[in-house]
Structures are given as C-alpha cells and as structure tokens.
Chains A and B, each alone.
Chain A
Amino acid sequence: MRVVVILGQVLDPGGIVVKRSAGRIFVNRKEYLIQPADRSALEAALRLRDADESVEIVALPRGPLPDDDLLRRALARGADRAIYLTGPAGFASADDAVMAAVLAAAIARLGGADLVLTGDRTLDSGQGQLGLRLAETLGYPQIVAAWQVTVEDGAVQAVVRRGDAYLTVAADLPAVVTLPAGALTLRYPDGVRLINIYKGVGEIAAALEQWDVTELVSAEALSPAWSLLGKDFPPERERGVRVEGSPEEMAQAVAAALRQKIGSGR
C-alpha cells in the first residue's frame, strides 16, 4: 500500500513580531516548522506503517519550497521516499489549485496512491483547500479533519468530530484524509537516519529525489488564480481599560467582555 503524505512548512510564529501601528511584520528568527496539521498527517502515515510493514510512505510538498529541509525531516522520521519539486521562476507563486494539478501528476508518476494524507488547515493562512482540491482532481472520496486513521480490508476508517461527539466513518481506498493539528503527536526523528540524510550518505540519502514540475504539467497549469493584493493590520490594542463600579457591575462588565471574546474565537 502506498501512502502519500503532503507536507508544508510555516514560519515559526514565535519568531515573528507584528507591529500593528507601523503596519509591519518583523521576523526576528527565521525558523520553519512543519505545518502543525501536516505533522498529524505524517504521524498517521508512520502509524499505518508501524501496523503494516508493507506500507510505503512517500512525502510530497504542499507548495513550492526554498530548499529540501522539510523533506529531509520527513525522511529522518521514517518516510521511504520524498520528492523535492522544482520548476521555473513562476512555480514559486503556485497556489493550491496549481499544486492540486502538480501533485495529481506526481502521484500518477509514482504509480498512484492508495491513501493521501495531509493537514486540514495551515497554521498561517488557515486554508484547507489543498487536500480537497487534490481529492477532486483525483476523483477520490475525502474525510476531513480525522483524529485517528486506520486501514482495514481496502477501506480507511477515521474518527471525526460531529458537534460534541466523535464518530467512526469509513471510505473505500483510494481516498484523501485530512487531519487537524494536535490530533497525533509527531515522533522524533531516528538519530542515524537524521545524520545520514543530512550527510547525504547511505540508502536514505537516495530516497530524496528531485523532480521538475514542467515534466509533470503544462505551463498553463502553473499559472495561479490566487493573488495577494496587500496586508491589513488590526487596530492597535487599547490596553488598560479599567472597569468601574460595584463588584456586581464589574462582574457584569467582565462577563459581557468574555462572552464576546470567547464567542468570536476561532
């Protein structure tokens, strides 16, 4: 069984300071993390392989990458193959629609996939389209935001949340399953694999391949629809608003503020 895991990276928000009044973003520490939701997807793939040795895990990127570090991290953790995608200058602005076409073609070149796993939402822009656009292109069923993934008798079973309850759902393979951040904790890399993949020695180093997207899709398929027009900043926080009045009035004011802030949360 071939499991394709689609992984992305994101600037560590801890290294970023947003100055609202100046309308600027300062990057103090340029460190990339594996997208938190994609971490769950990679761990799900590794657990499927723990249960069944014959599972082959192939890591593909969810977008254009500046370098192959993300894929090395996936290999260090147990992926069998990873494909670093490069292309003409325009590929750098590939959006999810472009990547759906590119990844569908890459999967075809791999000889197909039984299961495609990826995150349900990116940490930075919150978009959850990539996996489902890919499912549409491949014509696969989709299971969105699975907390747990198992495979049995040619079908994938997943635990999903409906309201406050958790349900088990199933779909025949091949299928696309997305996972939320925090569903599964990604394991640490194996020390030997990590060293070898970074030193570029041994079998594991050969598992990192580089494909050119122009060999996968036509030039027209590489033009993105998504256009970033600008940035907007929320107003500066109004700090230090004091609540006046009797204890009852204070409690009422705080309760009202909490209701508004907690209700409108993510």
Chain B
Amino acid sequence: MESYLDLLMAQQGEVTIEAAGGGGVWVVADVQDGSLAPVTLEAIGAARLLADSLGAYVYAVLLGDGVGDLAAVLFQAGADGVRVADHPALARLGLEPYLAVLADLFAAEQPEVVLFGATEQGAELAPRMAQRTGGGLVEHVVALDLDESTRTVRGAVPIYGGEYFEVVACPEARPQFFTVEPGAFSSPYLDKFRKGEPTPVAVEPVEAAVRVLGPAEGFTPPPVPLARAPVIVAAGRQAGDFALVEELAAALGAQVAGDRGAWDAGWVEAAQVVDVRGVEVAPEVYLAVGIRGDTFHNAAIEGARYIVAIHPDPDAPLFEVADLCVEADPRAVVPLLLKAYQA
C-alpha cells in the first residue's frame, strides 16, 4: 500500500528515495520475550514526526529469531519499511552478531537519523554503531525536535535524573544516533489499515565474544543505601500500624524509613531516620505515612521529586512541601491504598 508520503513524492515527480541517497529515519526495534518493547513503538512515533518534517521515510529494523510477525505492528505504528533479520544466531542479544547485521545495513542504506530504545540493547549497540560509523550519539533523550534548515535533530537529555535538561545535537555527524527513554514519548495510534511488505535481510552468523556461563550462584546485589533509594515509604507516629507501612513499601518496591517519631517508637533504626541530622534522601517518590513533618525532616526530603503525604491534621507542616496531600487517617487509607495499587 502506498503511504501518504509516497503519493506526495509521486506528485512531485523528481525526488526519489534512491536520489536522496538512502537516508531516512530508522528505528532499531527491541524485542523482549517475543514481543516489541513499548519503547520501540514510542520511537516509531517520534521517528514519524521527524520524518514528516524532513520529507523522509521511517524504517524499522527487526532482529531476532522468529520475529517476522512483529513487522505488521511496526507498519501499523508508522513505519514505511521494515527490514527483518531473522536468524537463530540472533535469538538473544549478542553484540557482534547484532552489530554485523546493523553495520552492513547502515553502510548500504546510509540512514540520516537512527533511534534505539534506551534499553539494555540500545545501551550495548548504539555507542558501538556510532563509533563505527563516525556518527553522533545522544543517549536517554526525553524529547526530540528538528532544525529543518540543517536537518539537525536536537535531543533533550535529563541532567541529574531530570533536575533540568540539556539540549544537545551532533550537527556535523551522520548518522545522528539517539537512544530514547522509555515512557518519554507517547505511543502512536496503531492504524490497522496501514500495511506493508517486510524486506528480509541476509544474516551471516557471527559468534558473540561474551559467553554466558549461567546463573550467578550465590550473588546478591549490594543493598541500595537509603540516600540513593528511588522509592521510599516513611512512617511517622500517626501511621498507627507499622506492619501495614512495611507491607505498602514491599508492594511499591520501596525502602522503608521513618522520622524521629518512628525511631522513638522503635519502628526504624537510626540509619533509616529521614532527618537532616540523620539521612538526607532524594527519591523519585517519597510517600510519608503519618509524618507531621518538622523543619529537620522536611529539609532532608528537599531532593525528592514527588512527595505524597498522608496525615489526619490539615495543619501538618509536611502538607506545605508535599505534591499530593491526603488529609486522612493513615489507618483508614493505607489498607485501601494497598488494595487499589495491587489491583
């Protein structure tokens, strides 16, 4: 089926994909457990917007073993062409076999822009491909836009995990590689009427240099210190039932902490006390259950990105710094919250 762009290009009569010297905006699909990672579709959506402004096509590359069926979804999401490298040697991510396919493909097709998901696969492949092709690479972008006059793609990179962003581009380098952060771009509408014929890619099997020996017997990762924990559930005196707080933390995959009051109550140890005289924290999410929030506590959570406070007293000072304020008795709300979160 011809895309809108095909029709437009046909009307113009002159510019063909061959004449433009390949080019295009490419997305290297990430297949996890036999299906496309959501970030791949998000990247197709971002690629579609860039390609429409550039007057270019969107191509997706599928690598794996028995992945051909996934091409249909890539077309529906907005790809104009899909290249499929389907081979048992690609059954699991291995650097050298994957690089061999991509290097040959990109040498032939000369992409202008290449997007990977900021996943394990993107982290392994994008820097190697960028260095091999002399391309520029910006990793973990959360927004993309275009300088149309120079065909330069600009990416926004979170600094210190999103305290602010740097807008970065590689204006002289081609291809322009990016890895896009999962969840940062919206997933495109899947147009059931959008179809295409995938193009198979020949695969010369290459052996991966890294050998998997097996499960790491007896290895346990070091505990994340409270100061670096991404999610914290902290209890205060008004929490009432500390066991429930621990249960909530487990459900959220969070570390348990408390304020001075929780320490007085014997619920937490000194190393778990959030207070400028104890531990200062900077999590993505800080959920305070029954914490009033004195000056020392509130100063210690200044670095938190999102603070939820549950406390019965509307005048609790924590409500002044919290993002989401729940004026209620934790004993009533927490069990319901547990149920709602797990639903």
**B-contacting residues of A (Cβ < 8 Å)?**
13-14, 16, 18, 20, 25, 96-97, 100, 120, 123-129, 131-133, 135-137, 141-145, 147-148, 157, 159, 161-162, 165-172, 175, 181-185, 225-234, 237-243, 247-248, 250-255, 257-259, 261-266
Task: State how many angstroms separate the Cβ of B99 from the closest Cβ of chain A.
Answer: 9
Q: Which of A132, A233, A241 contacts B124 (CB 8 A)?
A: A132
Cβ A258 vs Cβ B168 within 8 A:
no
A-B contact pairs, 10 of them (CB 8 A): A13-B303, A129-B130, A135-B128, A137-B131, A229-B168, A231-B167, A239-B322, A240-B325, A251-B340, A266-B230
Cβ A258 vs Cβ B287 within 8 A:
yes
Cβ B326 vs Cβ A250 within 8 A:
yes
Cβ B214 vs Cβ A141 within 8 A:
no
Docked CA distance A259–B285 (Å): 10
Cβ A25 vs Cβ B170 within 8 A:
no
Cβ A261 vs Cβ B285 within 8 A:
yes
Cβ of B112 < 8 Å from any Cβ of A?
Answer: no
Mostly, the B contact residues are mixed
Please encode chain B, from 311 to 330, with 1 for each CB lying within 8 Å of some chain A CB and 0 for all others.
00000000111111111100
Cβ B339 vs Cβ A251 within 8 A:
yes
Tell me the number of A-to-B contacts counted with CB atoms below 8 Å.
230
- Cβ–Cβ < 8 Å partners of A172 in chain B: 209
- Cβ–Cβ < 8 Å partners of B4 in chain A: none
- Cβ–Cβ < 8 Å partners of A16 in chain B: 160, 163
- Cβ–Cβ < 8 Å partners of A238 in chain B: 323
Please encode chain B, from 145 to 178, with 1 for each CB lying within 8 Å of some chain A CB and 0 for all others.
0000000001011111111111111111100000
Docked CA distance A165–B127 (Å): 25
Cβ B336 vs Cβ A262 within 8 A:
no
Docked CA distance A261–B325 (Å): 15
Q: Tell whether A124 pairs with B222 under 8 Å between CB atoms, given A136-B132, A228-B166, A233-B165.
A: no
- Which B residues between 290 and 310 are near A, CB-CB below 8 angstroms? 303, 305-306, 308, 310
Docked CA distance A229–B324 (Å): 35
- Cβ–Cβ < 8 Å partners of B219 in chain A: 147-148, 159, 166, 168
**A-contacting residues of B (Cβ < 8 Å)?**
95-96, 120, 123-124, 126-128, 130-132, 135-140, 154, 156-173, 183, 209-217, 219, 221-222, 224-225, 228, 230-231, 252-253, 280, 282, 284-285, 287, 303, 305-306, 308, 310, 319-328, 332-333, 336-337, 339-341, 343
Q: Which of A133, A232, A264 contacts B167 (CB 8 A)?
A: A232
Task: State how many angstroms separate the Cβ of B283 from the closest Cβ of chain A.
Answer: 9
- Cβ–Cβ < 8 Å partners of A167 in chain B: 212-216
Cβ B170 vs Cβ A226 within 8 A:
yes
- Cβ–Cβ < 8 Å partners of B228 in chain A: 181-182
- Cβ–Cβ < 8 Å partners of B213 in chain A: 157, 167-170
Docked CA distance A238–B132 (Å): 45
Q: Which of A96, A100, A231, A257 contacts B308 (CB 8 A)?
A: A257
Residue of B nearest to A184 (CB): B222
- Cβ–Cβ < 8 Å partners of B164 in chain A: 18, 20, 25, 231-234
Docked CA distance A13–B170 (Å): 26
- A-B contact sample (9 more), CB < 8 A, given A252-B340, A254-B333: A13-B160, A16-B160, A123-B160, A167-B214, A233-B164, A243-B324, A243-B325, A243-B326, A266-B161
Q: Tell whether A225 pairs with B131 under 8 Å between CB atoms, given A231-B165, A240-B319, A242-B325.
A: no
Residue of A nearest to B156 (CB): A232
- Cβ–Cβ < 8 Å partners of A247 in chain B: 328, 332-333, 336
- Cβ–Cβ < 8 Å partners of B209 in chain A: 141, 171-172, 175
Q: Which of A171, A182, A234, A257 contacts B162 (CB 8 A)?
A: A234
- Cβ–Cβ < 8 Å partners of B126 in chain A: 129
Docked CA distance A253–B333 (Å): 11
Task: State how many angstroms separate the Cβ of A31 from the closest Cβ of chain B.
Answer: 14
Docked CA distance A253–B328 (Å): 13
Docked CA distance A233–B163 (Å): 8
Cβ B127 vs Cβ A133 within 8 A:
yes
Q: Tell whether A261 pairs with B284 under 8 Å between CB atoms, given A124-B159, A128-B123, A251-B336.
A: yes
Docked CA distance A129–B340 (Å): 40
Cβ A126 vs Cβ B139 within 8 A:
yes
- Cβ–Cβ < 8 Å partners of A142 in chain B: 95, 124, 128, 210
Docked CA distance A205–B343 (Å): 62
Task: State how many angstroms separate the Cβ of A6 from the closest Cβ of chain B.
Answer: 14
Docked CA distance A172–B126 (Å): 22
Residue of A nearest to B126 (CB): A129
Residue of A nearest to B118 (CB): A126
Task: State how many angstroms separate the Cβ of A252 from the closest Cβ of chain B.
Answer: 5
Q: Which of B284, B303, B340 contacts A255 (CB 8 A)?
A: B340
